[in-house]
Amino acid sequence: MKATGIEPSTKMIEQVAKWYPHRSAWIQMGNLPHIPSFSDSFDMVSALAVLQHVPRSELFLSLFNIKQIIKPKGYFVFSLPLNRDDLNEDARDKEGRLHYPYNMNEICLLLEQLGFQFVKEINLPDDGANG
């Protein structure tokens, strides 16, 4: 299986190169909504703990650009936090990262407008891991 990652943090890309030198070529600098161009499309795109960091003004374009790189009959797997009681009044966590309070219905409506078909929702407890 071929995998490609997009990461906005130079520090995280450096960590991947340090921890997994044989996989560092799989990671490209980028962030939503500006996805790097690829020569191939993908069977699956995942955005785990990602969408809540995308500003509302960039959410539709981000999902549109994700749709553009998925093969027909491909999958988009994403996660959203169900409850963040650790955010301050500005919706920031203790590291200062902004978390937009999207809900599943809101995201699914945008995805349907873009031609995605809903397959399945799974609710899992948040493990509290940060990264």
Give tens-digit pLDDT for 105-127. 999 999 999 999 988 788 777 65
Res 24: pLDDT:
66
Which backbone phi and psi does 109 adopt, to 5 degrees? Answer: -60, -45
Rounded distance between C-alpha atoms, residue 53 and residue 86, angstroms: 15
Residue 53 DSSP symbol: G
Res 107: pLDDT:
95
Give tens-digit pLDDT for 33-43. 999 888 789 99
pTM: 0.83
Closest to 47 (Cα-Cα) out of 25, 24, 69? 69
Residue 24 DSSP symbol: G
Give tens-digit pLDDT for 25-63. 788 889 999 998 887 899 999 999 899 999 999 999 999
Q: 67 to each of 62, 93, 117, how far by Cα in Å?
A: 9, 29, 12
Res 129: pLDDT:
57
State the average pLDDT for the chain: 87
Rounded distance between C-alpha atoms, residue 117 and residue 109, angstroms: 10
